[in-house]
Amino acid sequence: MTDASHLNTLISEAATPELPSLVKSDGTPMTVLQVVPAMDSGGVERGTLDMAKAIIEAGGKAIVASRGGQLVARLKIAGAEHVELPVHSKNPWTMWRNTGRLVRLIKDRGVDLVHARSRAPARPAHRAARKVGVPFVTTVHAPYNINNGLKRYYNSIMTKGDVVISISEFVADYIRKNYQVDESKIRIVHRGMDTDSFSPHAVSAERVIQLSTQWRLPDGVPLIMLPGRLTRWKGQKVLLEALTHLRDIDLCCALVGSDQGRTAYRDELEKMIMDNDLLSRAFIMDDCNDMPSAYMLSDVVVSASTDPEGFGRVVSEGQAMGRPVVASDHGGAKEQLVPNETGFLFENGDAESCARAIRRALSLNAREREILSLKGQERVQKFFTKKLMCAKTVGIYRELISEKAITG
């Protein structure tokens, strides 16, 4: 049976997977260029920052090309170089010019490998890498919509890497079904959680109390939380409808995320709360700057996305914090969560099914909740840590750069 002592042993063993060296045989650093549209606050951007730090830790040199953004300062603090280029542009003329810009950058900085993480910058990055003769890697973060032949062609650049990294088996299956890619080129590297921050042991009682006071939560009432920006496919409406099937349970529900200017959808959610007499049970909270504490406040964490997510970090973050997770039964969530052991799955878009899963999670007794909590933390530590993600990706870099050095 899973217990706390076993989990502590697992954490100590899994927390520090060895990073492969990015130092060449002559002692010089391997240089990796990551190309992304911008360095703002999304998951792709945070992954780029994580990898820049890992490259440097492995003895390499990290460069990021993007149009800029709020994470550029953190890149520079970490010791990485940022080069501002309009690689976010989908304008054909700008993309053509970006090829020349990237060729010059690769040559000037002695870049050994190019890693593209998004479609718009991937095409000029691919052409530039091929012109100079350095390895090219892509990461596919989600299944892209394929509405017509032109869209399929546009998406296909993400399958042109010498290695195509998929963030989940779900995304890898999408690649296999829709594009002709040599199976040996596909590598699954799950997104990784920062388990130093997302850990019950890392959150003080003072932080939890402060957030509870800020949110004005009633004492002793279970909290259901759905983290995610306010956009329709994140499934906030599914959860609100599910609450109408749980009127016999005293609870409150927090929808945590910014509307990012989508005020019309926020208005819809607020109207739904009012029309369904949920004003005393549900509220919307803009972006929270202390999500680990928000998870600690929660009795159940919900991921109700109606479109399948490539990974969906809420599921792993909730498990890492030892919380029961209720998630839509599709996409990357199915790889992260073990049904009835680390959380509960419900039929996609089905509010009654969601309500049943929440009811099941809330009905756990203390011992059942402890076992589920420890199993969830154990699963994240084994498969979904940031350090494991970085070690696997750095290993791919080293493999391709070393192969290029041998073959010339």
Least confident range from 40-44, 116-120, 225-229, 361-365: namely 40-44
Q: For residues 232 and 172, give the distance between their C-alpha atoms in angstroms, rounded to a whole number.
A: 25
Residue 206 lies inside a defined structural domain of this protein: yes
Same domain flag for 45 and 154: yes
Phi-psi region of 267 (alpha: psi -120 to 50; beta: other; left: phi over 0): alpha
Same domain flag for 132 and 85: yes
pLDDT in the model for residue 145: 86
pLDDT in the model for residue 29: 97
pTM over the 0.85 mark = yes
Q: For residues 21 and 57, give the distance between their C-alpha atoms in angstroms, rounded to a whole number.
A: 9
**Mean pLDDT (whole number) for 109-130:** 97
Residue 183 lies inside a defined structural domain of this protein: yes
Same domain flag for 60 and 158: yes
Same domain flag for 366 and 394: no
Same domain flag for 287 and 397: no
**Tokens 């300062």 correspond to what residue?**
73
Q: For the segment 19-75, what is each residue's pLDDT rounded down to a tens digit?
A: 999 999 999 999 999 999 999 877 899 999 999 999 999 999 999 999 999 999 999
Residue 6 lies inside a defined structural domain of this protein: no
Assess whether pLDDT exceeds 70 at residue 359.
yes
HEC letters along the chain: CCCHHHHHHHHHHHCCCCCCCCECCCCCECEEEEECCCCCCCHHHHHHHHHHHHHHHCCCEEEEEECCCCCHHHHHHHCCEEEECCCCCCCHHHHHHHHHHHHHHHHHHCCCEEEECCHHHHHHHHHHHHHHCCCEEEEECCCCCCCCHHHHHHHHHHHCCCEEEECCHHHHHHHHHHCCCCHHHEEECCCCECCCCCCHHHCCHHHHHHHHHHHCCCCCCCEEEEECCCCHHHCHHHHHHHHCCCCCCCCEEEEECCCCCCHHHHHHHHHHHHHCCCCCCEEEECCCCCHHHHHHHCCEEEECCCCCCCCCHHHHHHHHCCCCEEEECCCCHHHHCCECCCEEEECCCCHHHHHHHHHHHHCCCHHHHHHHHHHHHHHHHHHCEHHHHHHHHHHHHHHHHHHHHHHC
User: Could you give the number of structural domains in the chain?
Assistant: 2
Same domain flag for 227 and 345: yes
pLDDT in the model for residue 301: 98
Number of residues in the chain: 408
Task: Write the CB contacts of 101 (distance below 8 Å, at least 6 apart in sequence).
Answer: 85, 124
Structure tokens belonging to residue 78: 């970490």
pLDDT in the model for residue 326: 98
Q: For the segment 155-197, what is each residue's pLDDT rounded down to a tens digit?
A: 999 999 999 999 999 999 999 999 999 999 999 999 998 999 9
Q: Between helices 43-57 and 386-407, what is the axis angle to 10°?
A: 60
**Mean pLDDT (whole number) for 334-358:** 96
Residue 5 lies inside a defined structural domain of this protein: no
pLDDT in the model for residue 405: 79
Assess whether pLDDT exceeds 50 at residue 1.
no
The rounded radius of gyration (Å) of the Cα atoms in the chain is 22
The CATH number given to whatever domain includes residue 398 is 3.40.50.2000
Residue 268 lies inside a defined structural domain of this protein: yes
Least confident range from 84-88, 116-120, 275-279, 402-406: namely 402-406
The confidence band for 340, taking pLDDT boundaries of 50, 70 and 90, is very high
The confidence band for 8, taking pLDDT boundaries of 50, 70 and 90, is low
Same domain flag for 316 and 261: yes
| Phi–psi pair at 313, nearest 5 degrees | -65, -20
Residue 9 lies inside a defined structural domain of this protein: no
Same domain flag for 184 and 234: no
CB contact at 8 A, 302 and 346? no
If we measure between CA atoms, which residue out of 343, 356, 347 comes closest to residue 298? 343
Same domain flag for 43 and 89: yes
The confidence band for 406, taking pLDDT boundaries of 50, 70 and 90, is confident
Q: For the segment 133-162, what is each residue's pLDDT rounded down to a tens digit?
A: 999 999 999 998 888 888 899 999 999 999
Residue 10 lies inside a defined structural domain of this protein: no
Q: What is the mean pLDDT of the chain?
A: 93
Range of the domain at 209: 200-383
Structure tokens belonging to residue 77: 């603090």
Assess whether pLDDT exceeds 60 at residue 15.
no
Phi-psi region of 21 (alpha: psi -120 to 50; beta: other; left: phi over 0): beta
The confidence band for 408, taking pLDDT boundaries of 50, 70 and 90, is low
Q: For residues 255 and 396, give the distance between their C-alpha atoms in angstroms, rounded to a whole number.
A: 38
Residue 13 lies inside a defined structural domain of this protein: no
Same domain flag for 354 and 391: no
CB atoms inside a 10 Å sphere around CB 285:
16
Percent of the chain at pLDDT > 90 equals: 87
pLDDT in the model for residue 2: 45
**Listing from the earlier edge strand, what are the strands of the sheet with 113-116?**
81-84, 61-66, 31-35, 113-116, 136-140, 163-166, 186-188
Assess whether pLDDT exceeds 80 at residue 6.
no
Q: For the segment 105-115, what is each residue's pLDDT rounded down to a tens digit?
A: 999 999 999 99
Q: For residues 363 and 97, give the distance between their C-alpha atoms in angstroms, rounded to a whole number.
A: 60
Same domain flag for 217 and 173: no
Same domain flag for 342 and 373: yes
